[in-house]
Amino acid sequence: MKHSSEETQPKTLNSTARAREMESPPENDCCSICHDDFNLPCQANCSHWFCGNCILRVWQHGSALQPCKCPICRRLITLLIPCETTSRDRHEPEVSRVLTSIERYNRLFGGGTQGLIQRLRDLPFFMRRLLRELMDPQRSLPLVFRARMFFALLLSVIYILSPIDIIPEGILGFIGLLDDLLIALIFFLHVAAIYRSALLFRHGGS
């Protein structure tokens, strides 16, 4: 029994380490703004990484009333998520200043209404981060967010398994599966929105 416990612990540590590594900038990469090594890195909702100071300067050089665009893909940046190592160093004055500015940015632009196209484009980013967080046993989403996700999953499964369909499969065949696919897409969009609100709560200074 002791041997089994010792085998399980390294697996848990390895999965935690992999999840944490994926929340850091890629190795041998650099900030696309200053073209130097990442300093206080943060990730935008378009998945690209930047130095915290660099992306904040891009925003400050434009309109302070609008979110800035990603210098790489030109998508609107509506959420900035600092690297975990950056957050751990918050006691340092420079780190605290950058994190405070990121939280202000997120409060300004992270809670606004997102269009369908924006939500679809952000979907892979939020689902990847959510899966990585679920892989990490040392992390846990607040109960209210987990309950909302479970409720959305339950309703989606009930509809998909239900014999009652908006588009009847028995009559239209494969086309009848479209409503099930639509429900699945709505589920993922809803879960991504819930997780986004959790990230905003975590990195918006609330």
Q: Mind spelling out the 3-state secondary structure of the chain? A: CHHHHHHHHHHHHHHHHHHHHCCCCCCCCCCCCCCCCCCCEEEECCCCEEEHHHHHHHHHHCCCCCCCECCCCCCECCCEEECHHHHHCCCCHHHHHHHHHHHHHHHHHCCCCCCHHHHHHHHHHHHHHHHHHHHCCCCCCCHHHHHHHHHHHHHHHHHHHCCCCCCCHHHHHHHHHHHHHHHHHHHHHHHHHHHHHHHHHHHCCC
6 pLDDT higher than 70:
no
Arch. (CATH architecture) of 2-203:
2-Layer Sandwich (3.30)
Give the CA count within 13 Å in the CB-facing half-sphere of 158: 6
Residue 74: which pLDDT band, with cuts at 50, 70 and 90? very high
For residue 61, what are its two tokens?
Answer: 């050089």
Per-residue pLDDT tens over the stretch 81-116: 998 877 788 889 999 999 999 999 999 999 877 789
Return the domain boundaries, the chain. Answer: 2-203
Work out the average pLDDT over 144-154: 86
Alpha carbon distance, N-terminus to C-terminus of the chain: 44
Q: Is the CB of residue 52 less than 8 Å from the CB of residue 40?
A: yes
For residue 133, what are its two tokens?
Answer: 């967080």
Please tell me the predicted confidence (pLDDT) of residue 166.
59
For residue 35, what are its two tokens?
Answer: 């073209």
Residue 192: which pLDDT band, with cuts at 50, 70 and 90? very high
**Alpha-carbon Rg of the chain, whole angstroms?**
20
Work out the average pLDDT over 22-32: 84
Predicted model pTM: 0.77
Residue 42: which pLDDT band, with cuts at 50, 70 and 90? very high
Highest mean pLDDT among 25-29, 166-170, 174-178: 25-29
Work out the average pLDDT over 11-30: 64
76 phi and psi, to 5 degrees? -65, 135
Work out the average pLDDT over 6-18: 49
CA–CA distance, 35 with 38 (Å, rounded to integer):
9
For residue 14, what are its two tokens?
Answer: 């390895």
- Mean pLDDT, the chain, whole residue set: 82
